[in-house]
A and B are shown apart, each in its own frame.
Chain A
Amino acid sequence: MVDKVAILDYIGYMDAQLIDEAYEGLHKRKIHTRIAKVSLIAASIIVLCIVSINKFVFPLISTTNDVEPGSTLPGADEIYPTVLVDGVCYSWRMGKAIININTTDGSFAEPDQYLEDKYYYGEIVNGNASVPENDRELVCSFDVSGSIYTDPNDEDVVYLKISTDWMKDAVVVFDRVE
């Protein structure tokens, strides 16, 4: 009996580079669309931040130093922190992003207990562009070191364990940018 699908089977021996390229081609187009969306969102966020800082933060600082830790984000009015994971952009969560901070004294709890059920993805690479172009690249206006973790049960968030010159071992939630 003639094997009608033998040729289809042999196409499976196609060059790996060609197979990857065909998949990546589509994938990259999606990334570019996402990056365009991220740029638009980032621009909106910058405007929102400037307005918020002028209206709420400056009056608050001028009257008291008791600003809730984790609610402010240095440099957010320049570049909003965004990271690329598996070709998907995630941005620093609006609102309470740092999950291991003690809001009363500003100290950070042991980060590992928050990351026990998460998957280690890789180390953060500081990006120079205005949007991340490669996986693990984080763009923001301050230097960061640390690691990226994914959540096996939730593709819409990633967790970054980060240290900067103003905080150490903070666990920060980044939300998927649609």
Chain B
Amino acid sequence: MEDSLIIDLYIQRNEEAIQQTSYKYGKRIKDIISKILSSHETIEECENDTYLETWNRIPPNEPRDYFLAFISAIARHISIDRFRKDNSKGRQAEIYNLSSEIEEIIPSEIDVEKEVEGKLLISAINKYLIGLPKYKRMIFVRRYFYMDSITEISMECRYSNSKVKSILLRLRRDLAEYLSKEYGYGR
């Protein structure tokens, strides 16, 4: 079923909306959650919470043109929240490793725990990414939004692991420089 028809079902408060979402995007949602959490039970709980949260947010939201991005972001937030609460051991090393990679970009005076500063920073990152060649942008998003491993990205792009690592390293450096120049961070 097309996304727009699924959104219509949510707006009509028809529970088939959840079945259709699960049928079409369930695997993708589980993939995102399992990048953050490891227990099978918790993954299922978070998947169900994702459907519930989607149900609660549509309406008023109507993400007809970006439904996958919308539910992916919800699944991500719910899983990260759960990760914090449980202090999940399974994926701890990978998640902290990923956080440290992003921290390289973040100017020291930014406090990402403050909502306004965090959102401003992401808006600046979005602006930087839009100006990049498509393949670089995709590698960045796959790594830091979808939390794909270097090997997964390498296989998808048909690049070697070292090439992907070096692209990401350069992107992080350039982005840090961009934030410093354009937004006066890091001075």
For the complex, what is the distance from the CA of A19 to the CA of B19, rounded to whole Å?
23
For the complex, what is the distance from the CA of A17 to the CA of B76, rounded to whole Å?
16
Q: For chain B, residues 100 to 121, give those with C-beta under 8 angstroms from any C-beta of chain A.
A: 102-103, 106, 112-113, 118-119, 121
For the complex, what is the distance from the CA of A5 to the CA of B37, rounded to whole Å?
13
Contact, CB under 8 Å: A6 / B118: yes
Contact code string A1-36 (vs B, CB < 8 Å = 1, else 0): 001111111111111111111110110010000000
Q: Which residues of B contact A142 (CB under 8 A)?
A: none
Q: Which residues of B contact A29 (CB under 8 A)?
A: 156
Q: Least Cβ distance of B28 to chain A in Å?
A: 7
- CB < 8 Å: which of B69, B102, B156 contacts A11? B102
Interface size on B (CB < 8 Å)? Answer: 49
Q: Which residues of B contact A86 (CB under 8 A)?
A: 24
Contact, CB under 8 Å: A19 / B129: no
Q: For chain B, residues 1 to 31, give those with C-beta under 8 angstroms from any C-beta of chain A.
A: 1-2, 5, 19-20, 23-24, 28
Q: Least Cβ distance of A132 to chain B in Å?
A: 15
Can you list 15 A-B pairs, Cβ within 8 angstroms, ordered by A? A3-B84, A7-B103, A7-B106, A8-B80, A11-B122, A11-B144, A12-B77, A18-B141, A19-B73, A20-B66, A20-B69, A23-B72, A26-B156, A119-B20, A152-B23
Contact, CB under 8 Å: B69 / A7: no
Q: Least Cβ distance of B33 to chain A in Å?
A: 13
Contact, CB under 8 Å: A10 / B122: yes
Q: Which of B5, B28, B144 has the most CB of A within 10 A?
A: B144
Q: Least Cβ distance of B179 to chain A in Å?
A: 13
- Residue A114, interface by CB 8 Å: no
Interface size on A (CB < 8 Å)? Answer: 33
Contact, CB under 8 Å: B99 / A8: yes
Q: Least Cβ distance of B84 to chain A in Å?
A: 6
The segment out of B51-59, B130-138, B159-167 that lies at the interface is B130-138
- CB < 8 Å: which of B77, B80, B129, B147 contacts A15? B129
Q: Least Cβ distance of A109 to chain B in Å?
A: 25
Contact code string A111-149 (vs B, CB < 8 Å = 1, else 0): 000000001111000000000000110000000000000
For the complex, what is the distance from the CA of A104 to the CA of B20, rounded to whole Å?
38
Contact, CB under 8 Å: A4 / B156: no
Contact, CB under 8 Å: B1 / A19: no
Contact, CB under 8 Å: B113 / A22: no
Q: Least Cβ distance of B76 to chain A in Å?
A: 5
Q: For chain B, residues 49 to 75, give those with C-beta under 8 angstroms from any C-beta of chain A.
A: 63, 65-66, 68-70, 72-73
Known: A7-B102, A15-B130. A25 touches B73 (CB 8 A): no
